[in-house]
Chain A
Amino acid sequence: MARKSSRSLSGLLAVGLGVWVILAAFPFLWMAIISVRVPVDAFSVPPQLLAPFTLENYYELWVVDQFYVKFFNSAIVTLGVLCVSLSIGCLAGYALSRYEGNLGFWLLMVALVFRALPHSTLLPGYQLAFAELGIWNRYETLIIVLVAINQPFTIWMLRSFFANIPKDLDEAALVDGCTRTGAFFRVIVPVMWPGIVTTGLFSFLLAYNDFLISSQLMNADKQTMTAALSAYINADDDAYKLMQGIAGAVSVTIPLIFLVLFFQRQLVSGLVQGAVKG
């Protein structure tokens, strides 16, 4: 807009945005700052801006408490969910973007309802079934459960990406002599990567951030980092445990910060995609 902002308005703007940035970032910053302090300094009265630096909390958490096991659990589960979810989601999302009949519509609507369900509604069912089948506390179980409950979101998002790839492309391949599957792999797969990256980011977040399912289906030895934090949630009275929890929370956050740093544009475009098509 080629209009001159009045001075008071731009001042207001600067103050408003400044306040927002502080509000948005402060919990992270403070958490990171106190995670490298001894308990007395972390919760001192009055609060201190500067205090002696220590990695004690991280040492206790990662080495003594073997948090690295949880890290590997997170890595296995998140990667597993990412691969399975995107593979089967791609096929479904592609087909749904190309099929014009009513069945496709109703599949998407049922998926919408599934997407809206709180995950806890499924837990009693899982408890019954998994105990009977004896597949409790297994990576495969957690992965496939997370894949399934993230499928509705994944196919919605991928469908809207595929809908943006011109139909002419795969139809040209069909006429040129491909089967549907051949057309998908030869001409759609090579051009779908931006959509896969964006959807993959959200699938990553859903799997990595999951607390409820992982903490319910897995025993302590196989829990993800996120679920493992449950041990520290109510540790307010045990100062050392509390400090380890803080170090754990910061540890869980660091990969996310890199994620946002590298994939900011894709995250934004993914949110927009959902909004415009939803």
Chain B
Amino acid sequence: MASIRFSNITKRWGSFVGVDNLSLDIADREFIVLLGPSGCGKTTSMRMVAGLDDPTFGDVYIGDQRVNDLEPKDRDIAMVFQSYGLYAHLSVYENIRFPLKVRGIPSTEHDAKVRAAAEMVELTEFLERKPKALSGGQRQRVALARAIVRQPNCFLMDEPLSNLDAKLRITMRAEIKHLHHRLNVTTIYVTHDQVEAMTLADRVAVMEKGRIRQLGTPTDIYNNPANLFVAGFIGSPPMNLIDGDIVEGQFRAEGVSVPLPFQGSRQGVVLGIRAEDLRLTDPAHGHFRQAVYSVELLGDATLVSQRFGSRLITARADKGFRIEMGATSAFEAMPSAYYLFDRASGDRIALPA
């Protein structure tokens, strides 16, 4: 069990900066998710904890120990790889046993440990098979079992669910959550899927271009996005973002005028409203009035979109709601649901109370 600390980590390949001066403290037993689009440096950050990549500058600590110069094997970590990294020439049993064998754990203990780990991920009946005779979900479980067969300092999981189909992903997500609850080991989990991040994490670090853009609990980053990037990345459908200016307490954009709950003016802002905070209203006095551009039935809700310039504005309506495409519609939201951002810096603008 250990805490993990990134201290001013930078990773470069030639002139390309993969991770840019990253600092992050991960508490003992915490489940932290590194979330971001591909190429944001999340996997690289995790691989530097494993020792599979070396930081160009900065230090990585596991517990109180600086591990930069330690080989992966000496860091006492376990990792689940995106494509599992199963040893094709070994049976499931031998795959799970491998870490015990190479670490010189007395062979009398192997069988019990392997079986315990296999049982935890419900693999007991497949122990004699070779990995190629397993389904994707089963292979995923072998990778998990291999990670939990000994008690490492921490688990590292690199997009472990991305190669599974949608249905299996949901089941495995729940199993990973359950395993963490049961084993209570510090876990770093890398994903580009915001739903995985929201459901699994104690804290989420949203990353972009090698930097952490926001660090917080899932509720926190959803309700209080610190900047445009996080606002646009988290949420499905993504937050509606409209470029405009504030003129004397009114947000103005082409064809839109929204009264704000405060006075003052400001150039170059972005107004953000989540789809579920927008409701359809009487075309006479909504703030966003346009013909309906598209209607999408999701089953549990209906998405209605309008088009402003090149942007779509989407409202999430009740599942029973119906409207014709092309009909006039109007959206509005409570002022408390408004998010304002500075367009140039992308930072959140605090609303005066």
Contact A176 B83 (CB under 8 A): no
A66 within 8 A of B: no
CA distance in complex: A175, B86 (Å): 13
- A169: B residues at CB distance < 8 A: 85-87
CA distance in complex: A174, B87 (Å): 13
Of the residues A100, A166, A182, A190, contact of B85 by C-beta under 8 Å: A166
CA distance in complex: A190, B98 (Å): 14
Residues 263-299 (chain B) with a chain A CB within 8 angstroms = none
B182 within 8 A of A: no
- A175: B residues at CB distance < 8 A: 50, 52, 72-73, 77-79, 156
Contact B88 A191 (CB under 8 A): yes
Binary contact track B62-80/A, C-beta < 8 Å → 1, others 0: 0000000001110001110
- B81: A residues at CB distance < 8 A: 168, 171-172
Q: Which of A174, A182, A190 has the most CB of B within 10 A?
A: A174
Contact B73 A171 (CB under 8 A): no
- B87: A residues at CB distance < 8 A: 169, 172-173, 187, 190
Residues 12-45 (chain A) with a chain B CB within 8 angstroms = none
- B78: A residues at CB distance < 8 A: 175-176
Place the interface of chain A in its size category.
10 to 19
- B83: A residues at CB distance < 8 A: 166, 168
Instruction: Known A166-B85, A190-B89; judge A173-B13 contact (CB<8 A).
Output: no
CA distance in complex: A186, B72 (Å): 16
B51 within 8 A of A: yes
What's the nearest-Cβ distance from chain A to residue B146, in Å? 7
Contact B73 A179 (CB under 8 A): yes
A46 within 8 A of B: no
Contact B52 A168 (CB under 8 A): no
- B77: A residues at CB distance < 8 A: 175
Q: Which of B73, B82, B84 has the most CB of A within 10 A?
A: B73
Binary contact track B38-56/A, C-beta < 8 Å → 1, others 0: 0000000000001110000
Instruction: Known A169-B87, A190-B89; judge A174-B146 contact (CB<8 A).
Output: no
B167 within 8 A of A: no
CA distance in complex: A196, B55 (Å): 34
Q: For B143, give the chain A residue with the smallest CB separation.
A: A172
Contact B98 A168 (CB under 8 A): no
What's the nearest-Cβ distance from chain B to residue A241, in Å? 54
Contact B73 A168 (CB under 8 A): no
CA distance in complex: A100, B56 (Å): 14
Q: For B81, give the chain A residue with the smallest CB separation.
A: A168
B166 within 8 A of A: no
What's the nearest-Cβ distance from chain B to residue A99, in Å? 12
Contact A186 B102 (CB under 8 A): yes
- Interface size, chain B (Cβ < 8 Å): 25
CA distance in complex: A41, B151 (Å): 82
A178 within 8 A of B: yes
Binary contact track B142-157/A, C-beta < 8 Å → 1, others 0: 0000100000000010
Contact B73 A178 (CB under 8 A): yes
A177 within 8 A of B: yes
Binary contact track A150-187/B, C-beta < 8 Å → 1, others 0: 00000000000000001011011111111100100011
- A191: B residues at CB distance < 8 A: 88-89
Q: Which of A166, A168, A182, A191 has the most CB of B within 10 A?
A: A168
Q: For A182, give the chain B residue with the smallest CB separation.
A: B102
Contact B102 A168 (CB under 8 A): no
B99 within 8 A of A: yes
Q: Which of A100, A174, A177 has the most CB of B within 10 A?
A: A177
Q: For B75, give the chain A residue with the smallest CB separation.
A: A175
Contact A174 B73 (CB under 8 A): yes
Of the residues B72, B82, B86, B89, contact of A174 by C-beta under 8 Å: B72
CA distance in complex: A176, B52 (Å): 12
- B51: A residues at CB distance < 8 A: 174
CA distance in complex: A168, B86 (Å): 8
Q: For A168, give the chain B residue with the smallest CB separation.
A: B85
Instruction: Known A166-B85, A191-B88; judge A171-B102 contact (CB<8 A).
Output: no
- A100: B residues at CB distance < 8 A: 13
Contact B102 A173 (CB under 8 A): yes
What's the nearest-Cβ distance from chain A to residue B96, in Å? 10
Q: List 23 A-B contacts (CB under 8 A).
A: A168-B83, A168-B84, A169-B86, A169-B87, A171-B52, A171-B72, A171-B81, A172-B79, A172-B84, A172-B85, A172-B146, A175-B50, A175-B73, A175-B77, A175-B79, A175-B156, A176-B78, A176-B99, A176-B102, A177-B99, A177-B103, A186-B98, A191-B88
Residues of A in contact with B (beta carbons under 8 Å apart)? 100, 166, 168-169, 171-179, 182, 186-187, 190-191
Q: In the A-B complex, list the 3 residue pairs whose CB atoms are closest, starting with the nearest.
A: A172-B85, A168-B85, A176-B99
20 extra A-B contacts, CB within 8 A, seeds A176-B99, A177-B102: A100-B13, A168-B85, A171-B72, A172-B85, A172-B146, A173-B102, A174-B50, A175-B50, A175-B78, A175-B79, A176-B73, A176-B102, A176-B103, A179-B73, A182-B102, A186-B98, A187-B89, A190-B87, A190-B89, A191-B89
